[in-house]
Structure 1
Amino acid sequence: MTDENRISNAGPNSPANDNKPSSNIQSALPDPVMKARTDALILILARMLGRQIAREEFERRLGQIANDNAPPRGARPEQEE
């Protein structure tokens, strides 16, 4: 399944706490369109961060691969007799 085929579960969710909003604070009703857009943007950001981390890890590991063709560090070239 690719990321483009995923379905966002942007439906109404209950808050993590059980506090009731006080009467003197006006709270805006949640906008499902804005929540869906925010969820989509968060997924895009997470994908971008994941790809950047993967690139950095790949480059780090690429530098650790042994190269059998290169002489070891500190080794002197052999002289032919």
Structure 2
Amino acid sequence: MTELFAVLAVLLALIGGIATVVIKNPFDKLITLGILVSGAVIFMVSRGYLDVAIVVSLMMPIGTLFILLLCRKKPEGLQ
């Protein structure tokens, strides 16, 4: 059963990584990055690295906020 979780986690991470490379819209990239991180966290938990999984789970929302700040539209005068 744990092998099934590991395979599913690797598939999620690969699909998220490939989709992140392919998609050009920065807001859609956030969704694919979430898929990638979810696969990575499941893989870490299945291997017993709970402390690393907790840190990644706490850092991902902070990284998402920074990415959203970088993607926001700039006023017309500053372009």
TM-score after normalising by structure 1: 0.37
More helix by share: 2
Larger Rg: 1 or 2? 1
